[in-house]
Chain A
Amino acid sequence: MKEISLNILDIAENSVKAGASLTEITVTENDERLALTVRDNGCGMTEETLKSVTNPFYTTRTTRKVGMGLPLLKMEAEQTGGSLEITSVPQSEDSVKHGTCVTAVFNKKHIDYTPLGDVVSSIVTLIQGHPDTDFLFTHINGNRTVALDTRELRTVLEDVPLNSYEVLDWIKNYLRKEENK
């Protein structure tokens, strides 16, 4: 992947597929380090599944036998001297607190670090594709915080769908403005 924001789009897709009603995407960075966390309240995974998700020859999809999403993220994080950690609680174990949390840490000073890139575009794309699930996006960069909670937008919009063009355009402009403050 050319940008970490593309990994975000890809990994958050797993959360939606796991039936999450809320996916929290948090990027925390300073000059040296970037940490990405994708936490969801989806169906979770058993310990056995968890062991195989960073193996490229494990996938839930049926069209072909490889799944590159998490293995790519792991490789991209580790090649900067960072790490990837995944924790998960399957629904079968805990019917309330189930879900998965993926954390990738990057060393920004490393020559193999790929930039975060257009994270706004990824968030807009996620909302466009999944207007009926919620996303909480938080980007902390030094002492500046950008946040967007689709649950808040929904209370304003009532029955106007989040993937209406006008709404998507507002989200894009709002996040771009906040990101550039």
Chain B
Amino acid sequence: MKSLAELQAIKEKMKDKVILREGVNSTRVVVGMATCGIAAGARPVLNTLVEEVNREGLMDKVTVSQTGCIGICQLEPIVEVFEAGKEKVTYVKMTPEKAKRIVSEHLKNGNVVNEYTIAGHKE
């Protein structure tokens, strides 16, 4: 199968990178992926975060992971950002468009997008 040959090529290219990447990620981005999150649209939010983090070249600094219900289902999709030495930032009612801004403004340049946070969002 031709495609598996492509995968083999990816593996050869990645082998050295994997060792480099271990233990350097200092920022953790967590997306709520329980029933409430999924029904509210968390899947495209998560996939946009994964794509944008890679596009901006932040994969050595940022890991994107999934969690269960965060407990405020009416504000889903929810994204939490954990940075070493800083207070957790909770973004609510997320969309793929908002996710793009969070990657470029917060994760890349360090500026929290206040209007999307749980404290700053408007009903």
Contact = CB atoms under 8 A, between A and B. Distances in A.
Q: Which of A72, A122, A128 has the most CB of B within 10 A?
A: A128
B35 A69 contact: yes
A12 to B, nearest CB: 11
Contacts of B14: 160, 164, 166-167
Interface stretch (A32-40, A77-85, A102-110, A151-159): A151-159
Interface in B70-88: 70-71, 73
Interface string A125-160: 100110000000000000000000000110011111
Q: How extensive is the interface on chain B, given as a class?
A: 20 to 34
Contacts of B113: none
A167 B10 contact: yes
A10 interface: yes
Given A6-B39, A125-B43, A63 B68 contact: yes
Given A63-B69, A160-B14, A174-B3, A10 B35 contact: yes
A167 B33 CA distance: 21
B13 to A, nearest CB: 7
Nearest to B37: A10
Interface of A is mostly: helix
Nearest to B64: A128
A68 B35 contact: yes
Contacts of A164: 10, 14, 18
A170 B38 contact: no
Contacts of B26: none
Contacts, number: 91
B39 A1 contact: yes
A156 B7 contact: yes
B34 A156 contact: no
Nearest to B39: A1
B22 to A, nearest CB: 10
Contact of B69 (A6, A64, A159): A64
Contacts of A174: 3
Given A10-B38, A122-B43, A157 B7 contact: yes
B123 interface: no
B15 interface: yes
Nearest to B32: A63
Interface string B2-46: 011011101101110010000000000000011110110001101
Contact of A170 (B6, B35, B46, B51): B6
Top 7 A-B residue pairs of the complex, sorted by shortest distance between their CB atoms: A129-B66, A63-B71, A165-B54, A69-B35, A160-B14, A68-B35, A63-B69
7 contacts: A13-B34, A72-B39, A125-B46, A128-B47, A161-B18, A167-B10, A170-B7
Given A72-B35, A170-B10, 5 more contacts: A1-B38, A6-B43, A13-B34, A69-B35, A170-B6
